[in-house]
Structure 1
Amino acid sequence: MAKIVFMGTPDFAVPALRQLIAHHNVIGVVTQPDRPAGRNRQVQMSPVKRVALDAGIPVLQPEKIRRADSINELKQWTPDVYVVAAFGQILPQAVLDIPPYGSVNVHASLLPRWRGAAPIQAAIRAGDSETGITIMRMDAGLDTGPMLSKRAIPIAHDETGQTLHDKLCILGGELLIETLPAYLNGEIIPQPQDDSLATFAPRIEKEEGKIDWTQSAAQIERMIRAFTPWPGTWTFWNGKLLKILSGDVIDGTAEPGHVVDRGGRVAIGTASGLYVPARVQLEGRGGVSIDAFVRGYPAFIGTILV
């Protein structure tokens, strides 16, 4: 049974950690420091830390893992391999090289497509028909290491960032447990990535959720799904923030941002096609159907969203 140190932080990493606890000897967990979260900004531990503590596994929470004191703490453990899933800090080569079998990463895309911090959202926004999980041996680059295994799943037409996240985190744990024993036994030859096929998915900033109505309706619809639940997508109506929660695309034309009635349906003009919102949420209110919203605000039709 392999000795493993696991590095991860959010919900995405939890299934992989649970699988490792069930099948291997997890001797330590490294996760991000406790931070304020939620509306009340109360300090909370990460999902990974909660699982580790429940299992009685020692936890290390370095503010900066590249610091010499953090590296020295890591060296007190003697694992066969590190397993990393959405840890949240870049690991320097000095850390990657500590275990004899190096560091293995669970990445939420079919590398080399969508290297970076936000591959799930990037795949939806690009209109990809499939995505998946890649298990790779890490190097000092950004998701550039050689691949140990891959598994693809289709992206549904109504897929959101949340639904795809939930599918991929389960798949990641399953593929990890299938791959790890063969890797540690020398039965897998790591395959280099083709850098010429690489695409990048940088970290998403909250302000990216503002809708640009000069994009096409198809682009806007994919963005709204990709950014569900975070950072969400919004526009401004009469000086108030209006979240667009879901919707669809239809043929037709209107000036970008103009709210029109098309055959009894509320639609918004874009650069190409019309976006038909299904659910919206005005600031300070709960989410409602677009029909309920227009009943409350009949002057909405004919206005311009910015």
Structure 2
Amino acid sequence: MLHLRVIAPADRSSEVVDLLAAEAGVTHLAVLPGAARQPEGDLILCDVVRESADGVLRSLQQLGVEARGGIAAEDVELTISASADRAAEEAPGSGADAVVWDEIAAKTGEQTELSGTYLVLIVVATMIAGIGVLLDQPILIVGAMVVGPEFGPLAALCVALFRRRLDVIGRSVQALTVGFLAAMVATVLSTWALTAAGLVTEEMLLAERPLTNFIWRPDALSWVVGLLAGVAGMLSLTSKKSGSLVGVLISVTTVPAAANVAVAAAYGVWDEAGGSALQLVINLCAIVVAGLLTLLVQQAWWWNLARRTRRPAAG
């Protein structure tokens, strides 16, 4: 359930209240006339079940509330109310599957920032994976997958393509490009440093590595895994099932592929670097395609459900 705080201009307040009162998933509606000071207007409070939240937010924006007032939403962790229970029963769909598009856009938009933390995480993850490649250690590879922050910009890119937000598309691509380039350059340098220190050798890369050689040998299953991971990742994001996201991070070969590119390039093993680069591109493309398709299916599902079950307006 979400708690909505709406500031509506006095001349639109009655429309907003009528709209909210007519929604099956809205409860705990309260109106404080003239309570808002900046911007001025009436303060309207309510709780809305997640399965109705997207439609409510869209309707409020169609009234132009955000232009002269404001809309804020926050999660409600606990509600003890018979009225809230009735709202959940009357609202179409399931709250566990509900998608609040404005919430998803805001959440993923934050992941496109090319921050110092993002760069450090992707560099560290790739360097860990580089060592894992040389040691043929799946544990290090898995650890690097979990540390890597690249799914944030990938999810943002999917949402931006879905909503046709060119500015967010540009920031997402920039974060991914700069992040992976910085990570690979740092891993090349760290590989040279470790080699000079006698901790790793080129022979370790050229040796048979049965546990990690899949990284630079992409095949049709690379597409399958990437597509499945894209679906699971987007569902975990839109349904707020964050626990599933860890499994998604472990299943995709993005950071390990970038690490293998860097390590192979450091030693001049270009066929392995090329195979790893192809693996990276396949996984990135598969995740974006699957994520975008997942969003399109979710939108079609909820629009169809809303049309079939929308309650007539009061009055």
TM range (shorter): under 0.3
- How does the TM-score come out when normalised to structure 2? 0.24
Higher helix share: 2
Higher strand share: 1
- State which structure, 1 or 2, has the greater radius of gyration over its C-alpha atoms: 2
- How does the TM-score come out when normalised to structure 1? 0.24
RCO higher in structure (CA 8 A, sep ≥6): 2
